[in-house]
Each structure stands twice: as structure tokens, then as C-alpha cells.
């Protein structure tokens, strides 16, 4: 299509000649809209492109092209003259004269344009075929440009400071989370539910008072809710409200234990205050602001830990004695403080230098020595752990401690590890203590696949015994089991355990992975998913055999546990107070039926 024909056609579609570019008399002349402006710009671009193409091929065009261009130009100018002069003549001359003049100008322009179109059709096809393919097609008029979308947000780029902070500016965080071992010490002093009238904290469970629980849950709670508090929720509260605000994770374990104990028992502000006061006795020069900041942590890292523990204990005892409730609770408070202090001091004592690695015993050595004692008798006596020729009897804890001493020359798992080896009393509760304080705690599964590891079940209470065995690394055990069984080889699977323990002075090498089956159902204090009907059956069986559990109420409480303990002791079983498969079989009942 000829560009000028395209112009006229578009002007007609936009309401130009045909639609009435000429307004009625007395009305304002219309102003082109933004769309019309865009259209005109596109048309001018198209004309320029066509003109450039014609110039590029001018040497091939016949003279007829120049004649056509002249006719078309005259037609376009006549049409444009009629449009431009229209408003001027309308305001100064008679309408009839104007109509005749406008018709003449625009009529001639249209005829000239059509004449150019015909001639272009006859001759232009051959010209167009000579143009490059990119110019031979129809003219494309682009639509009005749309606004660009906003840029997508970019990920922030982390930039490093120009100066790296010095090591001294960064608090040192221990690689091991000391919260579990610290709370293990505190938990036995917090106990279960209580509501003593002289206790200002009111109803308390696991050491969480009714006020603290209300703040934690964001609403007032009842005493029944305190009583129903789970131990797992209590642990979350202790960590969030005491351990973390006191920044105990950034302290050595012994100092963290002392500070955490005070925070739990007397408030975190007082725990920080006593620590800062005791640090100042070593020349720290701290402001006692009752907040654990970087300066306090830096002073802790430089302090004499043993002296700091001694000073802290003395400061706390002075505070206890100043309280009006000391006559009522003082004895228990001081016993608790003495226990926490002694534990912290034991943690602060550096482990003696170890034997050179080429001379250190291995886990396989423990297994080999343990197997030489299979078949010996069982008895709850203290054994001479320094006698290499001793051949029994043993109980489980004495046997485990005997093996460790024979191979390392060190006492482990004894009530007093500083006592004479021939008189040191081994106990599963002391094994638990040393595992958290000195040993390397692993999962039961890892212990089952590690030759010479120990697998421990905690004692349920002070009146019961736990149990401990040596792992052969293949899922089997060597253990002093009971007076009825003696020292035997057994297995790890199908029994209830708490932790695996690796001794610090032993070299261990794991064997093949072991799949430890989940234990069978166990009936004991604190166990979940126990059937009240089955508990009643256990109680009835105990009663029939002369071991009264008290009322047959379907509740496995302390009376039932005590009856189980006496029954186990009398029948040569593991005295753990738990009604497992062996105890149930001895009672003549099934736990799964």
C-alpha cells in the first residue's frame, strides 16, 4: 500500500475527513489525542523507511515513479491545505462559499491519491519485488508502549566488615551443649509436685512455680495444670527462662552449673549478681549490674574456676541464711548447694594426662577381660578393684568399674572416685554422674556396635538399682546380671536402656552397624502407655506371692515399685523395680496378653 493512501485511510478511521474533522460552526477545533500523536509518529517513521528503500534502489526505478510521486505529493498538499484553511474560512466567509472551496480542495486531493494508488499498483509491484525481503512486507505500526513492570526485589548481599573482629571480641561458645548435664544435677533437687504453705512460690512441679507457668503460657493457670505439667515442657521452660538469659552456654560447665542453679532457685538477676561479685574478688572490676554481658563472660574465661566456685558457694550460703524462711527450708537448701558445689568442683578438676596412645587399652581389651569372668557369681558387695586375680562375685556396677580400673588404673562409676580402690563402692547412679561429668555419652545403638562400650539403665530411685553391661560390638553383652543368673553373655535388644557410655581413657573402634530392637513393654514408675488393668494384674500377682503393693488400684506407684524390688531380690532377678518380661514371667503373668 502507498504510504499516502495509508495516511488518508487512518485519518478517516480516526474521525478525520469522513468522521468530521470539520466541527460545526461555533464549536472548538478538536485537538489530536495522545493516540493520534502516536499514530502520526508511526506514520512518519513508515514514510521515512519507504523513502530510504526507494533511494537505495533509485537506479532501478523508471521515470514513471517520479511522475507518480509528484501526483501523490500534489494530492496530499491539496488535502492538507483544505484541512488547515477550513477553520479560518469558516469564521470569515459565507458557509456556501466555504463548502464549495473545501469540497474542491479535498475532492482533488482524494482523486490524486487514488490515481497514485492505481499507478503504484501497476508499477510498484515490480519495484517492490526488487527490494530486500525485509522491506517488501506491509508496514507494521507498533502499539502504544506499555509501562515497564517494577524490577524484582533482589536478595540482599551480605557484606563483610572492612575490619574483621578480633578473637577477643567474640564470646567463645563451647562445642558441647552443657544444659542437659547441668540440669541433670539440678533436677533431683527440684522434685515433683509440691504446694508447701511456707513456700512463697506456691504450687510447684519439677521446679516450675505456678507463677512461672502462668507467664510461660500467657494466662493464669490452675494448680491442677501445674500438677499435670510434663517434664519435657518443664525442660523447655528451664532452658528459655534461666539457662539462656544467664548465657550459660558461653561459660565453662562448672561456672555455668553454679550460676544456673542460683538462677533457678533464686532468680536470674541474683545468679548474675553473685557471679559478678565473686569475679570482682579476683580483680575483674565489673559493675554489678546483674546482667551477663561480654565483660562478665570475658572475666569468667580468665578466672580461677576452683576459687570462683568456692567464693560463689560461700556467697550463696550467706544469702540463704539471711532469709526468713531459712529455719524451714535451710537444711535442704544447704544440702543442695553442697551437692552442686562438689559437682562443679569435680568438673573443674583437670583430667590427668592420658596414657600414650600406643599403650592405651582398647574396647576389645575390655570385652576380652569381661569374657574371662563369665560363669562367676553375682553378689552386691564391694570388690577389690586393684586385685587382678579377683574372680567374683560381682554386681553389675562393681564388675564394670573393676574392668575400667584393671585396664586404666583409674576409678570410674564409684560413689567416691578418690577412695582406695579396694574400698570404693561402685553404683549405677555414680556411673550416670560420671557419664555426664567425664565420659562420652553415645546412643544405645552406637554403644551396641562399639566393642567395650557400656550400656546403662539409670536407677529408678534411691531404693532401686539400675543396670550396666559391656557391649561386645555385635549386639551382645557381657554382664553381671543377677544372683540367679550370675555373670553371663546376653544381648542389648529387647531391653530398656538410657544411654551408652565410652570411657575417656579407652580407644574405641566401632564395628558393623547394629539394629537395636525396641524394648518390650515395661511397667515402672514414669513409663507411658501402661494399662491400668495390667498393673492391677501385677499387683494381684505380687500380693498372692506375699509381696503387698498396697491397694490394688491399677496405679504403678512407689508402693508397687517397693513390692517389685522385694520380689526381685528374693528371686535373684535384677533389682530395678521394673516389671519387665523376666519379672512378669517369674510372677506367672504375661505383659502382652
Could you write out the three-class secondary structure of 231-296?
Answer: HHHHHHHHHHHHHCCCCHHHCCHHHHHHHHHHHHHHCHHHHHHHHHHHHHCCCCCCCCCCCCCHHH
| CATH number given to 182-348 | 1.20.141.10
Q: Rg for the chain (alpha carbons), in Å?
A: 48
On whether the pTM is more than 0.75, the answer is: no
pLDDT exceeds cutoff 50 at 549 = yes
Angle (CA) 36 41 43, round 5°: 95
Question: Which neighbouring-strand residues pair with 456?
Answer: 468, 499
Under the banding of pLDDT at 50, 70 and 90, the label for residue 590 is confident
Give the model confidence (pLDDT) of 342-360 as tens digits. 888 888 864 343 333 446 8
Q: Give the whole-angstrom CA distance, residue 229 versus residue 222.
A: 11
Cell of 262: 542460683
Query: Rounded to whole angstroms, what are the CA distances from 443 to 171, 449, 522?
Result: 30, 10, 20
- Contact criterion met (CB below 8 Å) for 96 and 140: no
Instruction: Say which residue, 317 or 568, is predicted with more confidence.
Output: 317
pLDDT exceeds cutoff 70 at 154 = no
Q: Give the whole-angstrom CA distance, residue 568 versus residue 302.
A: 52
- Contact criterion met (CB below 8 Å) for 308 and 282: yes
Instruction: Say which residue, 271 or 131, is predicted with more confidence.
Output: 271
- Which of 23-27, 335-339, 536-540, 588-592 is predicted with the least confidence, judged by mean pLDDT? 23-27
Residues whose CB is less than 8 angstroms from the CB of residue 94 and which lie 6 or more positions away in sequence, other chains included: none
Q: Give the whole-angstrom CA distance, residue 24 versus residue 120.
A: 36
pLDDT exceeds cutoff 60 at 520 = yes
Query: Rounded to whole angstroms, what are the CA distances from 192 to 208, 227, 229, 527, 557?
Result: 9, 8, 10, 15, 13
Of 464, 505, 478, residue with least CA distance to 394: 478
pLDDT of 480: 94
Q: Enter the DSSP assignment of 33.
A: P
pLDDT exceeds cutoff 90 at 73 = no
pLDDT exceeds cutoff 50 at 413 = yes
In terms of Cβ atoms closer than 10 Å to its own Cβ (0-12, 13-18, 19+), residue 332 is exposed
Cell of 394: 560381682
Under the banding of pLDDT at 50, 70 and 90, the label for residue 181 is confident
Cell of 362: 582398647
Under the banding of pLDDT at 50, 70 and 90, the label for residue 114 is low
pLDDT exceeds cutoff 70 at 139 = no
pLDDT exceeds cutoff 90 at 246 = yes
pLDDT of 412: 94
Percent of all residues in the chain with a pLDDT value above 90, rounded to a whole number: 34
Give the model confidence (pLDDT) of 453-501 as tens digits. 999 998 877 667 789 999 999 899 999 998 888 999 999 988 888 889 9
Instruction: Say which residue, 310 or 3, is predicted with more confidence.
Output: 310
- Contact criterion met (CB below 8 Å) for 206 and 263: no
| CATH number given to 357-502 | 3.90.1720.10
Of 15, 22, 16, 30, residue with least CA distance to 90: 22
Range 524-540 average pLDDT = 84
pLDDT exceeds cutoff 90 at 515 = no
Residues whose CB is less than 8 angstroms from the CB of residue 311 and which lie 6 or more positions away in sequence, other chains included: 278, 281
Specify the 3-state DSSP secondary structure of 362: strand
Q: Give the whole-angstrom CA distance, residue 405 versus residue 90.
A: 125
First-residue to last-residue Cα distance in the chain:
98
DSSP readout, 51-111?
HHHHHHTGGG--THHHHHHHHHHHHHHHHHHHHHHHHHHHHHS-HHHHHHHHHHHHHHHHH
Residue 509 CA, distance from chain mean position: 31
Angle at which helices 326-348 and 428-437 cross, to 10°? 60
Neighbours of 585 (CB within 10 A): 12
Cell of 427: 553404683
Strands 440-442 and 454-457: unpaired
Could you identify the residue written with the cell 530395678? Answer: 576
Phi, psi of 471 (to 5 degrees): -85, 135
pLDDT exceeds cutoff 70 at 95 = no
Q: Give the whole-angstrom CA distance, residue 151 versus residue 157.
A: 17
Give the model confidence (pLDDT) of 23-58 as tens digits. 444 444 444 444 444 544 555 455 555 555 555 444
Instruction: Say which residue, 264 or 32, is predicted with more confidence.
Output: 264
Residue 590 CA, distance from chain mean position: 42
pLDDT of 288: 95
Question: Domain limits of the chain?
Answer: 3-136, 182-348, 357-502, 532-587
Q: Enter the DSSP assignment of 474.
A: S
Range 312-333 average pLDDT = 91
Range 529-545 average pLDDT = 87
Instruction: Say which residue, 553 or 158, is predicted with more confidence.
Output: 553
pLDDT of 354: 38
Contacts by 414-423 with C-beta closer than 8 Å and gap 24+?
421/384, 421/385, 421/386, 422/384, 422/385, 422/386, 422/387, 423/382
Instruction: Say which residue, 543 or 4, is predicted with more confidence.
Output: 543
For the chain, what percentages of helix, strand and coil (3-state, to nearest 5) are there? 50, 5, 40
Torsion angle (degrees, nearest 10) of CA 132, 134, 135, 141: 180
pLDDT exceeds cutoff 80 at 267 = yes
* Beta strands in 355-439, from DSSP E residues, in sequence order: none
Of 55, 45, 44, residue with least CA distance to 131: 55
pLDDT of 350: 47
Of 393, 465, 481, residue with least CA distance to 427: 465
Under the banding of pLDDT at 50, 70 and 90, the label for residue 425 is very high
Range 294-315 average pLDDT = 93
Per the prediction, the chain carries an average pLDDT of 76
Percent of all residues in the chain with a pLDDT value above 70, rounded to a whole number: 65
pLDDT exceeds cutoff 80 at 580 = yes
Under the banding of pLDDT at 50, 70 and 90, the label for residue 261 is very high
Q: Give the whole-angstrom CA distance, residue 42 versus residue 77.
A: 20
Range 296-310 average pLDDT = 93
Homologous superfamily assigned to 532-587: PGBD-like superfamily/PGBD (1.10.101.10)
- Contact criterion met (CB below 8 Å) for 477 and 455: yes
Instruction: Region of 528 please: left (phi>0), alpha (psi -120 to 50) or beta.
Output: beta
Amino acid at each position: 500500500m502507498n504510504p499516502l493512501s495509508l495516511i488518508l485511510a487512518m485519518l478517516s478511521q480516526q474521525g478525520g475527513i469522513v468522521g468530521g474533522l470539520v466541527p460545526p460552526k461555533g464549536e472548538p477545533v478538536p485537538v489530536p489525542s495522545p493516540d493520534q500523536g502516536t499514530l502520526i509518529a508511526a506514520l512518519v517513521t513508515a514514510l521515512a523507511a519507504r523513502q530510504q528503500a526507494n533511494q537505495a534502489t533509485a537506479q532501478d526505478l523508471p521515470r514513471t515513479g517520479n511522475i507518480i510521486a509528484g501526483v501523490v505529493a500534489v494530492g496530499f498538499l491539496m488535502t492538507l491545505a483544505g484541512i488547515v484553511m477550513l477553520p479560518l474560512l469558516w469564521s470569515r466567509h459565507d458557509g456556501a462559499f466555504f463548502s464549495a472551496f473545501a469540497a474542491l480542495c479535498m475532492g482533488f486531493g482524494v482523486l490524486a491519491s487514488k490515481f497514485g494508488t492505481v499507478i503504484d499498483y501497476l508499477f510498484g509491484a515490480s519495484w517492490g519485488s526488487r527490494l530486500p525481503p525485509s522491506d517488501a512486507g506491509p508496514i507494521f505500526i507498533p502499539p502504544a508502549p506499555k509501562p515497564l513492570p517494577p524490577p524484582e526485589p533482589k536478595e540482599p548481599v551480605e557484606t563483610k566488615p572492612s575490619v574483621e573482629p578480633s578473637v577477643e571480641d567474640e564470646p567463645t561458645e563451647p562445642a558441647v551443649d552443657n544444659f542437659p548435664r547441668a540440669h541433670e544435677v539440678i533436677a533431683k533437687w527440684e522434685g515433683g509436685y509440691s504446694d508447701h504453705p511456707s513456700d512463697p512460690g506456691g504450687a510447684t512441679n519439677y521446679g516450675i512455680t505456678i507463677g512461672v507457668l502462668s507467664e510461660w503460657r500467657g494466662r493464669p493457670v490452675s494448680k491442677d495444670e501445674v500438677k499435670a505439667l510434663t517434664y519435657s515442657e518443664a525442660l523447655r521452660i528451664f532452658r528459655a527462662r534461666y539457662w539462656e538469659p544467664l548465657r550459660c552456654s558461653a561459660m565453662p560447665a562448672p561456672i555455668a552449673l553454679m550460676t544456673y542453679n542460683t538462677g533457678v532457685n533464686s532468680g536470674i538477676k541474683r545468679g548474675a549478681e553473685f557471679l559478678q561479685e565473686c569475679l570482682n574478688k579476683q580483680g575483674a572490676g565489673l559493675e554489678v549490674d546483674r546482667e551477663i554481658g561480654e565483660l562478665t563472660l570475658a572475666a569468667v574465661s580468665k578466672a580461677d574456676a576452683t576459687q570462683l566456685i568456692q567464693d560463689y558457694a560461700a556467697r550463696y550460703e550467706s544469702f540463704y541464711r539471711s532469709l526468713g524462711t531459712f529455719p524451714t527450708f535451710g537444711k535442704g537448701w544447704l544440702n543442695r548447694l553442697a551437692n552442686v558445689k562438689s559437682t562443679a568442683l569435680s568438673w573443674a578438676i583437670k583430667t590427668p594426662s592420658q596414657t600414650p596412645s600406643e599403650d592405651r587399652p582398647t574396647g576389645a581389651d575390655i570385652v576380652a577381660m569381661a569374657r574371662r569372668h563369665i560363669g562367676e557369681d553375682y553378689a552386691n558387695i564391694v570388690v577389690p578393684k586393684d586385685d587382678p586375680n579377683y574372680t567374683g562375685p560381682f554386681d553389675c556396677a562393681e564388675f564394670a568399674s573393676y574392668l575400667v580400673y584393671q585396664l586404666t588404673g583409674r576409678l570410674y562409676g564409684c560413689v567416691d572416685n578418690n577412695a582406695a580402690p579396694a574400698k570404693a563402692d561402685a553404683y549405677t547412679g555414680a556411673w550416670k554422674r560420671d557419664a555426664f561429668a567425664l565420659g562420652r555419652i553415645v546412643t544405645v545403638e552406637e554403644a551396641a556396635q562399639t566393642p567395650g562400650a557400656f550400656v546403662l539403665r539409670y536407677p529408678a530411685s534411691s531404693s532401686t538399682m539400675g543396670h550396666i553391661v559391656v557391649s561386645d560390638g555385635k549386639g551382645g553383652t557381657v554382664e553381671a546380671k543377677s544372683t540367679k543368673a550370675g555373670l553371663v553373655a546376653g544381648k542389648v535388644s529387647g531391653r530398656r536402656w538410657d544411654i551408652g557410655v565410652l570411657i575417656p581413657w579407652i580407644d574405641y573402634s566401632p564395628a558393623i552397624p547394629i539394629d537395636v530392637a525396641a524394648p518390650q513393654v515395661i511397667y515402672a514408675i514414669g513409663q507411658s502407655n501402661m494399662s491400668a488393668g495390667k498393673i492391677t494384674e501385677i499387683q494381684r500377682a505380687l500380693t498372692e506371692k506375699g509381696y503387698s503393693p498396697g491397694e490394688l488400684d491399677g496405679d504403678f506407684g512407689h508402693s508397687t515399685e517397693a513390692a517389685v524390688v522385694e520380689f526381685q531380690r528374693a528371686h535373684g532377678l535384677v533389682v530395678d523395680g521394673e516389671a519387665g518380661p523376666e519379672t512378669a514371667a517369674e510372677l506367672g503373668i504375661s505383659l502382652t496378653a
